[in-house]
């Protein structure tokens, strides 16, 4: 079942071929894997340790097979996060940066945006930060179109 999220158009939703969901007390995670090397993580609420563990396990399972991905994080509805969560996601990118073609993060919360900015400094500015839904969606659509065309 494909869940509809604002900002994700019908073409994008139709391309998703695997989806996993999980939730914690006041948060939820949906992971969508597209057949064209794109991963979309949609997190809502508080970014708990348990949600981050799920994100890391899912990512490591895929990258352990030698696959590389363009990663998109829709955190537009993330309200806060555990500091452990930011540290572990930063560590994942430091140790597995070769597994990621690119990383885009959409945020709206000032607190979350600040955490992403700090992580981006540590990572040497490897994250494309978005505060606008339209620019995030355009980046994802561009990546989807690029990969679809190159496989034809």
Helix (H) or strand (E) holding 104: strand 100-107
3-class DSSP state for residue 87? helix
- Is residue 129 in some structural domain? yes
Q: Which band of pLDDT confidence, cut at 50, 70 and 90, is reported for residue 148?
A: very low
- Is residue 67 in some structural domain? yes
Q: How far apart are CA 88 and CA 37, in angstroms?
A: 23
Q: Which residues does 50 contact at the CB level (< 8 Å), separation at least 6? A: 22, 24
- Is residue 2 in some structural domain? no
CATH number at residue 80: 3.30.750.24
- Is residue 53 in some structural domain? yes
- Is residue 91 in some structural domain? yes
State the residue range of the domain holding 66: 10-151
Distances (CA, A) of 9 to 16, 53, 54, 124, 134: 11, 28, 26, 32, 12
- Is residue 5 in some structural domain? no
Q: Which of 2-11, 20-29, 64-73, 125-134 has the highest mean pLDDT?
A: 125-134
Interval 68-115: pLDDT, tens: 889 999 999 999 998 898 899 999 888 876 688 899 999 999 999 999
- Is residue 104 in some structural domain? yes
Q: How many domains does one find in the chain?
A: 1
- Is residue 65 in some structural domain? yes
């Amino acid at each position: 079942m494909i869940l509809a999220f604002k900002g994700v158009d019908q073409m994008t939703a139709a391309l998703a071929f695997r989806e996993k969901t999980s939730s914690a007390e006041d948060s939820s995670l949906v992971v969508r894997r597209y057949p064209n090397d794109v991963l979309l993580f949609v997190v809502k609420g508080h970014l708990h340790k348990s949600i981050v563990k799920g994100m890391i396990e899912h990512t490591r399972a895929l990258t352990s097979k030698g696959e590389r991905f363009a990663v998109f994080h829709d955190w537009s509805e993330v309200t806060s996060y555990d500091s452990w969560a930011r540290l572990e996601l930063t560590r994942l990118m430091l140790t597995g940066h070769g597994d990621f073609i690119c990383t885009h993060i959409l945020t709206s919360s000032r607190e979350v945006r600040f955490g992403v900015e700090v992580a981006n400094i540590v990572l040497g500015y490897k994250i494309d930060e978005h505060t606008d839904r339209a620019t995030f969606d355009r980046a994802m659509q561009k990546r989807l179109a690029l990969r679809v065309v190159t496989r034809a």
